[in-house]
Chains A and B, each alone.
Chain A
Amino acid sequence: MAGTGSRQALHQSVLAYRGSRYLWVALALCLGAIVAYAWHSPGVPPNGGTWLGYTLGTVGAVLILWLMSFGIRKRSYASRAGTVQGWLSAHVYLGLALLVVVTLHAGFQLGWNVHTLAYVLTCIVVASGVFGVFVYVRYPQFLSDNRGSQTKAQLLADLADLDSRSLRVAAGMPPEFAEALRANRDRTLIGGTALALLAARDRSQIMLPLAVNTAGAVAFRQVANPDQAALLDYLGQRLAASGDGGLSRQLQELLSLAGARRTVLARLRRDAQLKAWLEIWLYVHVPLSFGLLAALLAHVLAVFIYW
């Protein structure tokens, strides 16, 4: 893939940015911390109160503030302070290093207290970040493959177009078809809830003239229509049943349109799904890091209130 090569490629992934220089920075930081920790022997069990503890604590706090400032740098577009990619690359690697630093700062002492709260929050935030990196690196490829050369807008346009075309076809057919198609269009669902987006579940439904009521007129029943299966199925049956050449032709046309519609819908869902995964982690990462900020504040203050 572009950018993964060690040489200065035109396109470089965040991880490979400038020969992943920030990876080395982060490793150096971790190494330094670990060595210091091993070498350091206070008279008491390692904790945040020793000079090393204070040092690591300060480093950690500064790191957290800097990492969070990425949100600002990302949006200060006129800023000349490095490129956003560089920042993200550093954000990723130093974020991972943070985990090591704070763990050593805590000296593996955990308990039911504000200090551990801050620690745990850090861990969750970093973990969500790691997931974020994963999707950022992995999913764009899928997105692109799925969309082909089309944009979301084009797919939507296609969908609308398919609908109006099939309605036009249905216009020259027995009324129940237009009815069913309209119902199908109206009851087609994409996304709607976070779950539906992430799972790309198709909860679409359709009204099909499946029963004949007492009056002898067709009665519509609402049935699930995942991947347009119900519609295709229904049209297939009708096609099999119909003896009239004209109707068959129209049915075949509808079938092909419905088939096309299915693929378009599938693509849209997949697209939405991937996009959702690309975003969802941020809904953990960002709010929790603000929680962390508060916890950090409490942690530092608490330590010095009861010095």
Chain B
Amino acid sequence: MRVLIRFLRRGPAGAVEQKDKLHDGEAVTLGRATDQVVQLKDRRVALAHARMVLRNGQPVLISQVPGGVLVNGTLQREARLNPGDTVSLGANLLRILEPVAGCDLAFSFELDAAARADELPVDLPRLRLADLGLAKRRWAWALFLGVLLLALLIPTTGLRSPALQDTLRGGLLPDDGFWSPGPVSRVHETVGARCEACHEKPFQRVRNEACLTCHAGGLHGHVGGGAAKDGVVLAEVQSVAALDEVRCASCHGEHHEPATLVRNDPAVCVTCHQDLRSTADWSQVTPQVTDFAADHPAFGVPERDESGLRFSHKAHLDAGGVRSPVGDTVLGCGDCHALEPGGARFRPLRMERDCGDCHLLDFDPAFPGRAVPHGDADRVAEFLVDYYSRRFLEGFADPLAAPAGVRRPAPQPTAAERERLLRDARAKAGLVLRDLFERRSCSQCHEVEATAGDPARWTVEPVAIRTAWLPGSRFSHDAHSTALTPCATCHEAVESAAATDVLLPGIDTCRDCHAGGDARATPANQVTSTCVLCHGFHQPQNPLWRVTAESS
């Protein structure tokens, strides 16, 4: 650019000296340094203070100092220069003139008479932070836009197309993962970072269908056998009208640290159960349950338990001990009852394993080792007949007469003798049987019935010992740490003489430790017990639910 610079010097009394200078170059630099096109002798001016350039025909002044340059009285970092504009640099006044022929720009340049070299005030332009070009506004904008871009705009673009989404997730740019309030629970890790798997549409709450893509089968109801998909089994359910609107998410919260998939506050169930009538005609369930502590119905346990056995816990748990082949022994619960592996329940009792040690099934004092098999009565009879027959046939004289270890050829009995021997054997077996069934062994524990005749027969009432109680709940003995709490805390076995006694504790016993669902109301020495603590929702084999479902 070609610039006309007119230097004016106005003395206190002297005339105005005017000196014109033509400058060619792409810029006019103004500053205190000697290399500047216009050198300003003013300490308030920076070494390189500003520069003028030609931007497509329009002369522009660009500040080289952070604070900006005073153009027409206002600090500006960049200003278009038009005739009449004034630029003040310290005490120097620069006035843009009407353009002169052959020049792109013409300005006059005057050193204020008042500002003679010695009288310029000390250089103090930077006494306030505002003078330092720190500008709140710019920072504010930068931060605002920056945050908006990174935290909102860029991730949002991913919503437009999956492809875009993937590139975002692939690359370094922030993706919608930045919006995740927390990791998903382990079971859902398979979903990974694919937010859209559950959040199908923006601004739409997670729909059940989203869950069902993996979790097949209806969810709204309490019954059903499992249909499987993706190896995740869930209840297949009969519909309960009232539950149709309920969202999975209303019970299953995700993204919570520490991850817990199921809500465990009473409200989950109580919303319906506080007034079941409103949902359907539930004839056989308590229409109103709001809290375990308050109004949970008593457990549905039968009065008596017809197991077909004769048994007295009292007798067995006698502190004095009970007779046994090895002398008197004091028994504990654990001697007969053992937890199943997994520890939820106790394994079913088996006579041979759990009673056999004391309750021997021998039948002939002469041969103590010998015992009848436990189980089918007829097989016992056969066993004995066979046993004695063989015996009688082997040594038809008094078998006891035969000296031990003496091998001498036994005389072969005649047909008639054989007849007699077998008859005797049967008779003998008959005696022993009657003795076993009616006097010695079986009848101690079993109801035995004899039928006269020849031979006479005995039948033992079938035994049915219930292994699972309160099937509607998830009760785990292990969780109640049998090691610490003695069985007696809940089961009053010591006092029970009859096998028909049901030794399950009542709900009150539970309530000794189990408070209601309101954590705030739970005393220090008790456990908050919400519905889901004992009851599951999606439970295929849950008699409670079955009952209700049939009635609905």
Contact = CB atoms under 8 A, between A and B. Distances in A.
Q: Do chains A and B touch in the complex (CB under 8 A)?
A: yes
A287 B132 contact: no
Interface in A260-307: 268, 271-272, 275-276, 279-280, 282-283, 286-291, 293-295, 297-299, 301-307
A77 interface: no
Contacts of B518: 41
Contacts of A297: 148, 152
Q: Interface residues of A: mostly helix, strand, loop or mixed?
A: helix
A245 interface: no
Contacts of A67: none
Contacts of A117: 147, 151
Contact of A193 (B132, B178, B256): B132
A106 B48 CA distance: 52
Contacts of B181: 47-48, 109, 111, 113, 115, 303
A302 B152 contact: yes
Contact of A44 (B206, B263, B519): B263
Contact of B121 (A47, A156, A271): A156
B140 A286 contact: yes
A67 B520 CA distance: 35
A21 interface: no
B129 A279 contact: yes
B257 A109 contact: yes
Nearest to B151: A298
A160 B206 CA distance: 74
A45 B143 contact: no
A42 B182 contact: no
Contacts of A39: 520
A29 interface: no
Contact of A114 (B178, B264, B520): B178
B204 A294 contact: no
A109 B182 contact: yes
A114 B176 CA distance: 10
Nearest to A299: B151
Given A41-B265, A276-B128, A290 B143 contact: yes
A177 B268 CA distance: 92
Interface residues on chain A, size class: 35 or more
B72 to A, nearest CB: 24
A113 B265 contact: no
Interface centre among B127, B152, B206, B530 (most CB of A within 10 A): B127
A290 B151 contact: no
Given A164-B119, A276-B128, A113 B205 contact: no
A162 to B, nearest CB: 10
B126 interface: yes
Interface in B241-292: 251, 253, 256-258, 260, 262-265, 267-268
Contacts of A271: 127
B195 interface: yes
Given A286-B140, A294-B152, A307-B203, A194 B260 contact: no
Contact of A291 (B147, B258, B268): B147
A191 interface: yes
A188 interface: yes
B128 A163 contact: no
Interface string B507-545: 000000000001110000000001000000000000000
A42 B265 contact: yes
A43 interface: yes
A286 to B, nearest CB: 5
Interface of B: 43, 118-119, 121-124, 126-132, 134, 136, 139-148, 151-152, 155-156, 159, 176, 178-182, 195, 199, 202-206, 251, 253, 256-258, 260, 262-265, 267-268, 518-520, 530
Given A43-B263, A291-B146, A298-B147, 13 more contacts: A43-B253, A44-B253, A45-B258, A117-B151, A156-B124, A159-B122, A186-B43, A272-B128, A279-B130, A282-B136, A286-B140, A306-B179, A306-B195
